[in-house]
Amino acid sequence: MSGGRAKDLASLAGMSDVSDIAQWCVGRGHREVMLHTRRPNLVHALREAGIEITDGPASLVLWLDDAIGDSFPWSHVITHGEVVVEGCLPISRGVHAIAVETDRAVIVTSDGSECRRIEFIDGSVAAVPVHPVALETLDESARKSGFDLDDRWVDWSWEPTTPTDPCHLSLFRNLQKGTE
């Protein structure tokens, strides 16, 4: 193997994978999730980890891949449950890489008026219009629905966010009193 090829393979070692998401869910004790995603292999990874996918309310709701711009997850979680929201943030212009994973790559582009998410998956390309949501708007929506922000990272690498990051992964907890 050439030196360049070995270096390319070494750089893949730190990439996130759908199995990382599944293991995070298991590590938090979740056995059932409500899922909203465009990731082609996540359902299989979750099932392989022993997690059931449900259409009804669950202890964990994964609202991934910019779904937050078109709909809200709050009504899909049971009392004392958790919601993970993954989305891009409003950008004025430009192209930003937001995910390079073992099974896909995603960039977000904006011309100043419209924002698109461009996904490269299994040799195909899909461009999807997205509606980025500012963190303040997301946090306020969560608060109004009885959720508190528990933590926020730049992505599944668990790195803390910085003011220049084009995306976020936010964990909210439902602290409402009630029955499950």
In a 3-state reduction of DSSP, which class is residue 180?
coil
Tens-digit pLDDT profile for residues 121-134: 888 999 999 999 99
**pLDDT at residue 27 is higher than 60:** yes
Residue 119: name the closest of 99, 91, 89 by CA.
99
Tens-digit pLDDT profile for residues 10-21: 333 444 578 899
**CATH code of 50's domain:** 3.40.50.150
118 lies in a domain?
Answer: no
* Domains held by the chain: number: 1
Range of the domain at 145: 3-90+131-174
99 lies in a domain?
Answer: no
Residue 63's DSSP bridge partners are 36, 85
Residue 172: name the closest of 144, 142, 145 by CA.
142
- What mean pLDDT comes out for the span 135-148? 95
96 lies in a domain?
Answer: no
